[in-house]
A and B are shown apart, each in its own frame.
Chain A
Amino acid sequence: MSWDFTYLFTEILFYKVLFGVSLIGALSGVVGTFSLLRKKSLISDAISHSVLPGICVGFIYEGSKNPLVLLIGCLIAGLISVWLIDFIVRRTKLSEDTAIAFASTFFFALGSVLLSYIVAGDNPEKVGLKDYLFGKAATISFEDINIFMYCGVAILVLIVAFYKQIKLVVFNVDFAASIGISIRLIEFMIAVITVLTVAIGIQAVGVVLMSALIIAPSAAARYWTNNLVKVLLLAALFGCLASSLGVFTSGIFEDMPTGPWVVTYLFLFVFFTLLFAPRKGWFSVLKRKRKTKGRIERENVLKTFFQLEESGVDNVRIQDLMQRRYFESSVLGKILNSLQKDDLLQKENNVYHLTVEGKTESSRIVRLHRLWELYLTKRMNFKEDHIHGSAESVEHLITPELEQELLRDLDFPESDPHNKNIPY
């Protein structure tokens, strides 16, 4: 293995590849965002598989690996597959997933047949054509990069120019049509930019893995923000970053493929996102759950104090609490401490008293419990022995606004269905 970093960074070839692949990654992120929002991520898979026969036909026609001719071959083949999927969905009883699976495998089979035909032939240019299957970033030439640049600029200009139209069609196609936007034109444009992106991308990551580059960056980006422009930029960043990391990895370790590494990094990003994203991420959800659980336990302790004082126990000790309601002793200790810290509870010689604030808070919880029990019996015809369980959980959920509504609806009642006072 070669570990010569200085060699790596002085090599112009390396920069060339780095630039080309990063550009592809950023573009894929942007274009993929529209696929994601249209719920058409899978179509990119069909497109990437279907460009293989496009490349082969381009090669057979030209007799050499002229990048422009191959690109045009890709574009035509990709558009045919998009059209075919649309045609199958509209004109047959087959569903969209069937149509996509059919198109992607059929075109891939066709491409493989053509590829073996070319490989069996005696055109010396055929060497390297198989690299389109899994991609070989190192074969990117300056001519390729020129083409990437032109395509990239064209795609970005189209997206910026038609941004509002695209957004409208993606969000609400009927409304877009109602104000006179040509749906066919915009959908065709989205198809063209998707196919173009796939076509320039397969050289780096290959036919088989290209759809990951379209799907993954936007899927991750959507988790981090609710703003479309930010989703687009973030998807571009993810795509770009994963691509550069892929190029570095394959540059540092000899014989390491670029494409599979790019895809591996992408999925690390997605995985990281699923764990750490705000609100919807795994840790965020877990944190919310724990917070709620902690609040419920705390409120239960306060409620138990209220009930004990209601039944005449003035000097509450830990044993009294444990007798009245089951608490885990370690949890109970922590809650008692935190209640003291918040000045809801006072402790003298192992005897606890609610402070004034503590009384207010505990009576609020008991009030919600009893109000809800009353509501269940009065308005929803529940039997009196069936209401306690529901009130045990609902008491922790009722917001001040809902409480006001309950009070108004029940006209500030005095006692609950079990003839206990409702404390105010």
Chain B
Amino acid sequence: MKNYSIEVHNVSVAYDRIPVLWDIDVDLPIGKIIGIVGPNGSGKSTLLKAIMGLISLSSGSVKIFGQDLNESRDKIAYVPQRESVDWNFPATVRDVVEMGRFQKGKLFHRLTAVDRELVDYAIKKVKLKEFENRQIGQLSGGQQQRVFLARALAQGASIYIMDEPFVGVDVATENAILELLTEMKNEGKTLIIVHHDLQTVSDYFDYLVLLNTRLVAHGPTTEVLTRENLQATYGGQLNLVAQIQELIKENEMPLREKGFEDK
């Protein structure tokens, strides 16, 4: 059996009974920069959240390096969307990056000297050393994105999952992130990135997952980025699927009959 970073088996997810991911079945390689690409509302962020166990699956399962999520959390780091938090929170850049060194089981948690070194290193990597004591609300959007990146770096994981890191970011940050991603790839890390800007897809990623509620295609960028695949991804929702979604909601229908998950 081949080695995969993440295996997604028949995953379906529904919000308020409307399915946003339908039977996604995809295995992701190790040591690549992988783009998850699709139009708005295609379930890209949902797929990330499903992988991270942040939402309950209607069906299917996810494996990380062949293990369940709970056995492999320290191998995977998550960078949420920048807009998902309130940046007025009373914390400095350093405070937030330190969150990456947090261990879940520990009460009265304190950082060790090693933790502090890793935090220092992460802050320097994203070029925020001079801002480390600044309140996070007083940073630009690009700097805030780099704070999140540094926090993930401090986690020292093998897989990094990022939700739209290039949104609302200045050119300097974009280049800094790209440089960092390449460096991380060369160290053998796997990077999985949700992205919606088609212009830059072939520059950024060497592996693509095209998504629009269902899986359209996946594979090396050069093979996958074809006119037909893009047409299928961005050509609007399939009308029939949309109608079925409406019917499911109206009839309060379970997405899967009970007992399916156990199989």
* Beta-carbon contact of B99 and A168 below 8 Å: yes
* Beta-carbon contact of A179 and B102 below 8 Å: yes
* Beta-carbon contact of B91 and A228 below 8 Å: yes
Task: Identify the A interface with B (CB < 8 A).
Answer: 37, 39, 160-165, 167-168, 170-172, 174-175, 177-181, 222, 225-228, 230-231
Provide 12 A-B residue pairs closer than 8 Å at the C-beta atoms, listed in order of the A residue.
A37-B86, A161-B108, A163-B108, A167-B99, A171-B96, A172-B84, A174-B52, A174-B84, A180-B73, A181-B104, A222-B90, A226-B137
- Bound CA span A178–B152, Å: 11
* Beta-carbon contact of B109 and A171 below 8 Å: no
Q: Which chain B residues lie closer than 8 Å to A171 at the CB level?
A: 85-86, 89, 91, 96, 99
Q: Which chain A residues lie closer than 8 Å to B77 at the CB level?
A: 178
Interface residue B188 (Cβ < 8 Å from any Cβ of A): no
For residues 42 through 84 of chain B, which have their beta carbon under 8 Å from a beta carbon of chain A?
A: 49, 52-54, 70, 73, 76-78, 80, 84
Q: Which chain B residues lie closer than 8 Å to A226 at the CB level?
A: 90-92, 135, 137
A227 CB to closest chain B CB (Å) equals: 6
- Bound CA span A175–B80, Å: 7
* Beta-carbon contact of B104 and A179 below 8 Å: yes
Interface residue B107 (Cβ < 8 Å from any Cβ of A): yes
Known: A172-B84, A174-B80, A175-B80. A163 touches B91 (CB 8 A): no
For residues 178 through 232 of chain B, which have their beta carbon under 8 Å from a beta carbon of chain A?
A: none
B117 CB to closest chain A CB (Å) equals: 19
For residues 103 through 147 of chain B, which have their beta carbon under 8 Å from a beta carbon of chain A?
A: 104, 106-109, 135, 137
Task: Identify the B interface with A (CB < 8 A).
Answer: 49, 52-54, 70, 73, 76-78, 80, 84-86, 89-92, 95-96, 99, 102, 104, 106-109, 135, 137, 151, 155
A393 CB to closest chain B CB (Å) equals: 22
Q: Which chain A residues lie closer than 8 Å to B70 at the CB level?
A: 180
- Bound CA span A181–B92, Å: 22
- Bound CA span A179–B77, Å: 8
Q: Which chain A residues lie closer than 8 Å to B52 at the CB level?
A: 174, 177-178
- Bound CA span A419–B156, Å: 59
B14 CB to closest chain A CB (Å) equals: 14
- Bound CA span A170–B104, Å: 15
B158 CB to closest chain A CB (Å) equals: 15
Chain A's closest residue to B107 (CB) is A161
- Bound CA span A257–B201, Å: 68
Q: Which chain B residues lie closer than 8 Å to A174 at the CB level?
A: 49, 52, 54, 78, 80, 84
- Bound CA span A225–B89, Å: 11
Q: Which chain B residues lie closer than 8 Å to A180 at the CB level?
A: 70, 73, 104
- SS class of chain A's interface: helix, strand, loop or mixed? helix
Which among A161, A163, A226, A231 has the highest number of chain B CB atoms within 10 Å? A226
B218 CB to closest chain A CB (Å) equals: 23
The residue that A162 contacts in the complex, of B78, B95, B107, B155, with Cβ under 8 A, is: B107
* Beta-carbon contact of B99 and A175 below 8 Å: yes
Chain A's closest residue to B77 (CB) is A178
* Beta-carbon contact of A164 and B102 below 8 Å: yes
* Beta-carbon contact of B90 and A179 below 8 Å: no
A98 CB to closest chain B CB (Å) equals: 18
Chain B's closest residue to A163 (CB) is B109
Q: Which chain B residues lie closer than 8 Å to A228 at the CB level?
A: 89-91, 95
4 cross-chain pairs, A with B, having the tightest CB-CB distances, nearest first: A178-B78, A226-B135, A161-B107, A164-B109
* Beta-carbon contact of B102 and A168 below 8 Å: yes
A282 CB to closest chain B CB (Å) equals: 19
* Beta-carbon contact of A177 and B90 below 8 Å: no
Q: Which chain B residues lie closer than 8 Å to A231 at the CB level?
A: 90
* Beta-carbon contact of B85 and A177 below 8 Å: no
Q: Which chain B residues lie closer than 8 Å to A162 at the CB level?
A: 107
B181 CB to closest chain A CB (Å) equals: 19
Q: Which chain B residues lie closer than 8 Å to A160 at the CB level?
A: 108
Chain B's closest residue to A175 (CB) is B80
- Bound CA span A231–B137, Å: 16
- Bound CA span A248–B90, Å: 33
Chain B's closest residue to A158 (CB) is B107
Q: Which chain B residues lie closer than 8 Å to A230 at the CB level?
A: 90
- Bound CA span A175–B78, Å: 7
- Bound CA span A181–B78, Å: 13
Q: Which chain B residues lie closer than 8 Å to A170 at the CB level?
A: 89
- Bound CA span A170–B96, Å: 12
Chain A's closest residue to B98 (CB) is A164
B108 CB to closest chain A CB (Å) equals: 6
Q: Which chain A residues lie closer than 8 Å to B109 at the CB level?
A: 163-164
- Bound CA span A226–B108, Å: 22
